[in-house]
Amino acid sequence: MSYSGVWTVSEKNGKELAGISFELLASARPLADKLKTELCTVLIGNGNDDLCARELIERGADRIYVVSHEALSHYIVENYSNVLGRLINSYKPEIVIAGATSLGCTLMPHVAVKVGAGLTADCTSLDIEENTRLLLQVRPAIGGNIMARIKTPARRPQMATVRPKTFRPLPRDEKRKGHIVNEEFDTGTIDPRIQRKCFRKLDEAGPELGDANIVVAGGAGLKRADNFGMIRELARLLGGAVGASRNSVDRGWISYPHQVGLSGKTVTPELYIAVGISGAIQHLAGMKTAEHIIAINIDEDAAIFKVSDFGIVGDLFEILPLLNEALREELGNV
């Protein structure tokens, strides 16, 4: 059976669309135009779906498949996978793209196995090969040392996740027209084995790590958990998020959701400040695409300086208190 159409998977934060939804449409719009096909997006959830669907059209989508039900109010991978898998089997899209977010990184592998497709994770570039019409998927490999170009010639749909903040959302066009398809909810898509018991939100002020324009990250050079207070203070003063190296997370100084790197989160902020981080290749792969990088480390040969725009060789325990104090004075002792 022939496959046609480019799909994205939209995400919501509560009743509002997540920014990655618009980034995905920006990444997929040129693909659909080159293939001369529709750009569709799937919206799964409950609440405010008509307004969200309308905004997705204004941001570049041609067609929205909406699956809304109270049972889908909270993300559970088995349930969302069943819904998305059935839509794929029914409509046969040629390409399906999601964000390399917590949702996308759990949902897409689950769906890929279900529909018998391949999946390329954490892409930084997507294109269409002119002669074959195949999706060209580009992603960092071997710790970010090379950029791998991947194609899926035999299986459909071609599936990929896209690194957040890689594509700038398209401007909103309130005059755009599109189709909203409200899919009938099938109770059979709910997995009775899985129940949501509770949700514990991280007790951290400031923006979420993956969405932050400024990230202040601490590493093993901080020596103990209490010293992360200086990192949190600097992040607060700058309006940024707190990040961490795997070394500091493994030592129990800070929780895993703050981890940056291959085994943590990939971030692409405007400013990344690395404090007491040596620059292991796994960590660099998760942050070296930041627009500006500042490193503070006592070791002048630390690998982090090789990717930094500005480096300070010195004792972080002397530098950070002075920096925080200067910022407090500049901002009026906030």
Residue 206 pLDDT grade (very low, low, confident, very high; cuts 50, 70, 90): low
pTM: 0.78
Q: Is the pLDDT score of 66 beyond 90?
A: yes
Residue 139 pLDDT grade (very low, low, confident, very high; cuts 50, 70, 90): confident
Work out the number of other CB atoms within 10 angstroms of the CB of residue 106.
15
Mean pLDDT score across all residues of the chain: 90
Q: Which of 18-32, 41-55, 82-96 has the lowest mean pLDDT?
A: 41-55
Domains of the chain: 6-189 (3.40.50.620), 209-330 (3.40.50.1220)
Average pLDDT of 189-213? 80
Q: What is the pLDDT of residue 327?
A: 93
Average pLDDT of 167-174? 90
